[in-house]
Amino acid sequence: MTNSAVAQPRSQRRGADDLIGINAVLSAEEREIRDTVRSVVQRRIKPHIASWYEDGELPARELAVELGELGLLGMHLKGYGCAGMSAVAYGLACLELEAGDSGIRSLVSVQGSLAMYAIHAFGSDEQKDQWLPDMASGHRIGCFGLTEPDHGSDPAGMRTRATRSGDDWILTGTKMWITNGSVADVAVVWARTDEGIRGFVVPTDTPGFTANTIKSKMSLRASVTSELVLDGVRLPDSARLPGATSLGAPLRCLNEARFGIVFGALGAARDCLETALAYACSREQFDRPIGGFQLTQQKLADMTLEYGKGFLLALHLGRQKDAGELAPEQVSLGKLNNVREAIEIARTARTVLGASGITGEYPVMRHANNLESVLTYEGTSEMHTLIIGQALTGVGAFR
C-alpha cells in the first residue's frame, strides 16, 4: 500500500470551510454569531432532529421561545425587541439553522421574514406594538397566508376575498402549505378586495378561522405545515395593514424570506458534505478508506467547489443587501443556484454513503428530502429562471 492510499490523520485534513477560507471573508462579529448559532444547533437540535423528523412532530412553541431568547426571531429588523442585526448575520444564522434541519430554519424565517416583516414594514404603530415584541421573544408565533390550493406561482389569481361590512371586513377563502399555521397566534392573510390585494393581521382565535395540520409529508416533516380556512372571519378595519396597498407588499415579504434561503440551503449542503467526508475517511473497502479512491475524491472535490461558490455568492448578495443595493432578481440568482446545488450535493453525498445514506442514522436523506420542498417554495426554479431571464432580456415570459 502506498502512502497516497493511507487516510491522513484528522489534524492534516482540511474541512470545506477551512479549505475555502470562509473565516477570512467574515468579520469577527459575524464569526461569533455564526459560531453561537452553530453551537445551539449542535446542542439543542441535532440530538433530537432525526426522531422529530421520523415522528413528523416539532416542539415549535418550545423552540420558538428558546430561539427568541437568542434574538434569532426577526433578528434583521429594528426596534420592538428585535436585534437589528445585518443581513449577512441573519444569513449566517439561517445557514447554521438549516444545517440542523430545513424545518428549523423555516420556523425562524417564516416568523421573522414573512409574518414579522409584513407587520414591521406595512403595519400601523398599534399593530407593531401589539404583536412584534411578543413575536420577537417567541411567545407568540406568526404565519403568512398567501399561497392557495390553486394559486401558488401566480398569487395575483388568489380567490380569498375581503369584503366590506360596515366598518368591518369579512374574509372568506382558503390558504395552503402554510408553515407554522397550526401553532400560530396570528396570521398575516392576503386577500382580494375591490381596491386590490390587501393584507390583514388575523388573530387565530377569531371566530371562523381554522388551521388544519397537513400530515403524511415526505419532506419537511420536522415542520408544522397547515391549511388555513377563513369562513366569514370578521375583522375591524384596524386589522388591515395600512401600508400594504398592492400585490407588491407580499412579494416584498417573499423576497425577504428568499434571501434567508440563499444562505440556508448551504447549511443543509454543508452538513451533507461534512457527513460524506467523515464517512469516506472511515469507511474501508478493498483494504483502504473509500476516500482514498479517485472517484470518491472527485465527488468530495466537486461538492466542496459548489458549496464554496454558493457561499461566496450568498455573502456577496448579503453585502449588497446591507448596502441597500440588492435587487429582487439578484435574490432569484442566489435562490436558484444555491438550492439547486444543495440538492445535488445531498444526492452526491448519499452515493458516498451507499446504503447507509438512506437511513436516519445519517442526515443526508433527510436533507435531500427537505431540499425538494425548499426548491419549490418561495418561488419555484421555473419562476426564478424566468425572473432572471426577464432581467437579462427585458422581455417577460411568464404568460
Instruction: Identify the DSSP state of 204.
Output: T
Report which residue type is found at 189. V
Residues forming a β-bridge with 209: 230
Q: What distance in Å separates the CA atoms of residue 81 and residue 145, rounded to the nearest whole number?
A: 24
Q: Collect all residues with Cβ–Cβ distance below 8 Å to 256 and sequence separation of at least 6.
A: 113, 114, 117
Is residue 265 classed as helix, strand or coil in its secondary structure?
A: helix
Q: Collect all residues with Cβ–Cβ distance below 8 Å to 294 and sequence separation of at least 6.
A: none
| CA dist list (Å): 262 to 94, 98, 314, 332 | 9, 11, 6, 9
C-alpha 205 chain-centroid distance? 26
Contact 53, 45 (CB under 8 A): no
Helices marked H in 247-327: 248-282, 294-322
Q: What distance in Å separates the CA atoms of residue 289 and residue 368, rounded to the nearest whole number?
A: 25
Q: What distance in Å separates the CA atoms of residue 182 and residue 356, rounded to the nearest whole number?
A: 34
Contact 363, 52 (CB under 8 A): no
Catalytic residues: 378
Q: What distance in Å separates the CA atoms of residue 241 and residue 198, rounded to the nearest whole number?
A: 7
